[in-house]
Structure formats: C-alpha cells, structure tokens
Structure 1
Amino acid sequence: MTELSALEANVRMPPMGHHSNVETEIGRVVVQLANPDFKFMCGEALTLEGGMGLRP
C-alpha cells in the first residue's frame, strides 16, 4: 500500500477532520442566531465551510 501525498490526504479529509452534517453543523448555528442573545447582530455574513477555504 502506498502512502498518500499531503495533497491527496488533504483532498480526502476536510480540514476540520470530519465531513459535516447539515442538521448538526449548520442547524446549530441557525438555532443560536435565532436566540434572543443575538438580537443585536445584523448585517453579517457567516461562512460555514469547515475550513475548506484554508486549502491550498
């Protein structure tokens, strides 16, 4: 069995170490934002990409 290059390993595994689940990863953020504690937050763009933007 051959070892994977760093690039190949990076492509197979997301930077956060696991593949996301929409309900648990994004759903939790949506629930937090709906919380009254976030009533002062407006006009923000949240990027939920699990570190994919960090790839070379």
Structure 2
Amino acid sequence: MPRLICYCFGYTEEDLRQDVVKNGRSLIMERIVAEKKNGCCRCAEKNPAGR
C-alpha cells in the first residue's frame, strides 16, 4: 500500500518522488505549502496522526 504524505490532497511518497524526477523539484510540495497558507489544509481532521 502506498504511503500517504498528504491526506488532504491524497499524495503519496511515490507521487512526490516522480514529481521531483519529472520537474527537478516538487511542484506537489509547493502546492501543499500554498494551500496550507491559504487555510485549505485539513490534516488535523484527515490524518490519523492529527498533523
């Protein structure tokens, strides 16, 4: 089973790896950070660890 990195947007560890290979950096991580700054992060509710 793929390891989820982002429960809010459903990204896995492999998604991030492939993103870095394809783009030279993680555009996914940039999106996650931007969404979090905009208040769209619901990790505390969606992540079983609460973070």
Q: TM-score, normalized by length of structure 1? A: 0.30
The structure with more helix, counted as a fraction of residues: 2
The structure with more strand, counted as a fraction of residues: 2
Q: TM-score, normalized by length of structure 2? A: 0.32
